[in-house]
Amino acid sequence: HVFDVDSCGQSHAVLVRELNEDRYLVKSESGLFVVADGMGGHDAGEVASASIVEHLKSIGIPSSAPDLKARFEDRVIMANREIRELSSRNGSTIGSTLAALLAFERSYACMWVGDSRIYMLHSGKLSQLSRDHTEMQDLLDRGLLTREAAASWPRRNVITRAIGAVDEPAFDIAHGRITPGDKFLLCSDGLTAHVPDEEIGSALAENSPEQACGSLIDLALSRGGTDNVTVVIVEFREAAEPAPEFWAN
């Protein structure tokens, strides 16, 4: 038990949506924090995101960082299979983004699929740890689309990866060390569509996780709230008893 963890998760269907297809999970005792944004609208996007969260609820208490990662991957694979079977029965494509923070001792791993994001506030500086799996991001990376044109590009929200889209989900991963005072934010694109990184960083720096969650969701709502918005914030504070770190394979 290296850190005391202060965490909060909040979600809102926003003003223009009747259905909330977002789901989140906060399991500090397991070192797992998740945001999932279902896609498919009336074709059961909310079922896809709920399947992921329900499977991950059983993750238990890991014995090591590799154990936590393996437990996480096993449960996502089961959820992916369940979503694929539902899609086959319905004759339609459904799926979900997934952004996850895994924390064990002094180490973290961020794993994601889709355009739900993971940020880290370290020493007052905000960094985006995830990279969007979208057509727009691919074009930006290749220099075929400018930032100015991307703001109004009609396919800017089309994602290129999702849980449930293929038989074997492919994650990207970023990992590193946790230091006292570090804060992480996981969110669906309902937040980043309306709130720029500068304001996200200020909200994290100036508020507790619970206050920042409420403030950021209120900002998204005040600016139109065109999509479900979900925010999970995790702060790590030094605990009294230090312990060794593990993240080796």
Kindly give the confidence (pLDDT) of every residue in the chain, 249 residues in length, as a single tens digit, with 9 standing for 90 and above. Answer: 689 999 999 999 866 567 889 999 999 999 999 999 998 655 578 999 999 999 999 999 999 999 999 999 999 999 999 999 998 888 788 999 999 999 999 999 999 999 999 999 999 999 999 999 998 888 888 888 787 777 777 787 789 999 999 999 999 999 999 999 999 999 999 999 999 999 999 999 999 999 999 999 999 999 887 789 999 999 999 887 655 555 555
All residues at 6 or more sequence positions from 171 whose CB lies less than 8 Å from its CB, including other chains: 73, 111, 112, 113
Three-class secondary structure of residue 142 per DSSP: coil
The Cα 154–Cα 82 span in angstroms is: 31
Tokens of 222: 């005040």
CB-CB contact of 57 with 25 (8 Å): yes
**How far are the Cα atoms of 36, 154, 233 from residue 165, in angstroms, in the given order?**
14, 22, 27
